[in-house]
């Protein structure tokens, strides 16, 4: 397949997505950005009542029988309680450890839309004051947000417009290295969204169309388990979920290939569809690997649990330190983009 894949476009899209906070349940800025990007690609995006962004990508054959899903929501938090001293206790959105965001900058979004800066810290942060007592387990009550505002009481905080239930986003801190690495929070799953946009662009610039019509699905509740439960059309036969491939000790994945997930905590993905994607990668010379993840779920599992009848497979770039300060490589992003394009044209 003689397609030209524009990595500069992919990287620019990725950095733009990372710059837009989208904790689960508050993904509107990213969804609006994606609406514009899809329209620039000649597609007509729509929203469901739940908030899923969808678009039909017409193919050579009539009907929509294939789907591509890439969630846009990320880990984050909500204000659980305002302490008498003006510090905030948080409730986590998604599965992460407090150690992964300890010391990180954050934004608290008020109901009026204002973003107020702060930092995530242990309650006993100062080693000079607490000594050994500053060490230990980091539970919800042991962590707090220190606002960058002159507050010393809960009423001071409320005067800023902050209240229980407000969303909190942690800083992504993206950085691109000369060696081709991209590190940032929330490569899960904005890396896959950028790969999908780059694949659509490459196919279109080659004057091609998908072999079959493709349903594009961008959900905002994957990190809490139900993003893929709705928003798909009837008659879907196949769904390829785009999500990151975790890299770590004992795993087969690395940061330089696209990962085909054969099984996660919900069980095996459809072996025939996974096998077809594997064959496509081999035939196109796309660097890939197959892996299994015991502590992992996706929008595909949510779709199946909701009664979806399509065959499902999952692919995505290898990403190190998932749900922490993540990192991937240009080669994995391009391999994922190439496999997406190969699939829709096959």
Residues known to be catalytic: 222
Q: Do the Cβ atoms of 27 and 73 come closer than 8 Å? A: yes
Helix (H, G, I), strand (E, B) or coil at 172: coil
**Parallel, antiparallel or unpaired: strands 245-247 and 213-218:** unpaired
HEC readout, 269-296: CCHHHHHHHHHHHHHHCCCEEEEECCCC
Structure tokens at 47: 């929203």
Closest CA to 138 of 167, 108, 103, 105: 103
User: How far, rounded to the nearest angstrom, does the alpha carbon of residue 103 sit from its chain's CA centroid?
Assistant: 22
Q: Do the Cβ atoms of 315 and 242 come closer than 8 Å? A: yes
Helix (H, G, I), strand (E, B) or coil at 179: coil
Under 8 Å CB-to-CB from 328, ≥6 apart: which residues?
181, 182, 183, 187, 191, 244, 255, 317, 318, 319, 320
- Burial letters for 96-124: b for 16+ Cβ neighbours within 10 Å, e otherwise? bebebbeebebbbbeeeeeebebbbbbee
Give the number of other Cβ atoms within 10 Å of residue 4's Cβ: 8
Q: Which residues does residue 190 pair with via DSSP β-bridges, in sequence order?
A: none
Structure tokens at 49: 């009542």
Helix (H, G, I), strand (E, B) or coil at 76: strand
Rg of the chain in Å (alpha carbons): 21
Q: Do the Cβ atoms of 48 and 233 come closer than 8 Å? A: no
- Distance (Å, whole) CA 88 – CA 330: 38
Structure tokens at 194: 């950028």
């Amino acid at each position: 397949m003689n397609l030209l894949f524009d990595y500069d476009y992919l990287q620019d899209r990725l950095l733009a997505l990372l710059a837009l906070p989208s904790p689960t349940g508050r993904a509107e800025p990213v969804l609006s950005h994606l609406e514009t990007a899809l329209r620039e690609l000649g597609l007509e995006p729509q929203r469901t009542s739940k908030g899923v962004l969808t678009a039909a990508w017409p193919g050579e054959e009539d009907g929509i029988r294939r789907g591509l899903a890439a969630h846009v929501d990320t880990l984050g938090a909500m204000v659980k309680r305002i302490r008498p001293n003006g510090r905030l206790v948080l409730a986590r959105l998604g599965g992460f450890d407090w150690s992964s965001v300890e010391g990180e900058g954050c934004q608290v979004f008020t109901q009026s839309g204002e973003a107020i800066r702060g930092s995530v810290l242990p309650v006993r942060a100062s080693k000079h004051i607490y000594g050994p007592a500053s060490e230990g387990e980091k539970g919800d009550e042991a962590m707090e947000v220190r606002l960058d505002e002159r507050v010393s009481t809960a009423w001071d905080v409320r005067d800023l417009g902050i209240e229980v239930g407000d969303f909190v986003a942690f800083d992504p801190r993206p950085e691109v290295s000369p060696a081709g690495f991209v590190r940032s929070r929330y490569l899960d799953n904005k890396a896959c969204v950028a790969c999908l946009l780059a694949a659509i662009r490459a196919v279109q610039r080659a004057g091609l169309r998908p072999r079959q019509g493709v349903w594009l699905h961008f959900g905002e509740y994957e990190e809490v388990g139900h993003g893929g439960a709705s928003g798909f059309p009837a008659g879907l036969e196949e769904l390829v979920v785009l999500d990151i491939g975790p890299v770590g000790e004992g795993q087969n994945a690395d940061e330089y290939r696209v990962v085909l997930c054969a099984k996660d905590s919900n069980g095996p993905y459809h072996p025939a569809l996974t096998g077809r994607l594997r064959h496509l990668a081999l035939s196109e010379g796309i660097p890939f690997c197959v892996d299994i993840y015991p502590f992992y779920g996706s929008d595909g599992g949510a779709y199946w649990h909701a009664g979806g009848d399509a065959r499902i497979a999952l692919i995505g770039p290898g990403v190190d330190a998932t749900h922490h300060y993540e990192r991937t490589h240009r080669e994995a992003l391009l391999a994922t983009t190439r496999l997406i394009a190969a699939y829709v044209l096959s």
